[in-house]
Amino acid sequence: MLGQRIAQFYKNQSEIELLCVSAEDSYFESDVEYKQMDITDKNSVKKIILDFFPDVVINAAAYTNVDKAETEKELAWKINVTGVEHLALYSWTIDAHLIHVSTDYVFDGKEGPYSEIDVPSPVGYYGRTKMASENSIKISGVRAAIIRTNVLYGPAKYGRADFVKWVIDSLKNKKKINIVTDQYNNPSYIDDIVSAIDSIIELKKEGVYNIAGDEVLNRYEFTLRIADYFGLEKKLINPIETIELNQPAPRPLKSGLITLKAQIELGYKPRKIEETFKLFKEELDI
């Protein structure tokens, strides 16, 4: 989803030569240059980066299935850590600026929201792989910015539905949904993330930046806001606690990201939630 949006943002900028890559069949529009690349394959990464010789490498690829990561540890590590090591190595080789997308799951969710200087302490294997990916970048010597975000949502033509679209589709189909009341974060609109990435590139910024929405709220509250805006039945939304889901992987409960650094250094201004819903509705014609 994020990769699609980044491509859409940059594809019509005449001064930019854009190359989109992914391991599987292209999820990008036909009017962008696309090549297949598996970040877990060192030679594949080497060939693409050394042939294209980019000024900037943006990594939005990740193994993101939090529960499956507990049993598919080798695969999760291979994509989230080994793949990032390859990108960092060859970005460093050509002095490219690496932009890496990370997550609030690097924190344990006991004392959120978190700033960039808070010490990571992940509670699940997915979070551990993302923390390791951040560390691999930091020790590689590459010029890099790490973006931490959470609960990414926004209109996307391809790939699986995000949380907002899932809620809308479920409630439109009169399906009852269980939503947790004890997981807190600040949902992040995808175009705000893209805007922040562009600012980081333009300003040649390095280091860690929290890029997220401007409201920290629990998932149940967020779901009620979705239902209110789109005129859907709130009685179909059943509030529960995380423990009732009996999920394989633990979740950081009291999370969220403080974006003050990004606001000061990047001029970052996340849209209000209802404004993002308006844009979502207009683009997908919901």
Q: Which residues have a catalytic role annotated? A: 126
| Local structure of 148: helix, strand or coil | strand
Closest CA to 24 of 13, 33, 37: 37
User: What is the Cα–Cα distance from 254 to 184, expressed in whole angstroms?
Assistant: 5
Written as one letter, the residue type at 202 is: E
| Separation in Å, CA 192 to CA 84, 146, 209 | 23, 15, 13
- Of 66, 98, 279, the closest CA to residue 190 belongs to 279
Rounded Cα distance, 74 and 180, in Å = 29
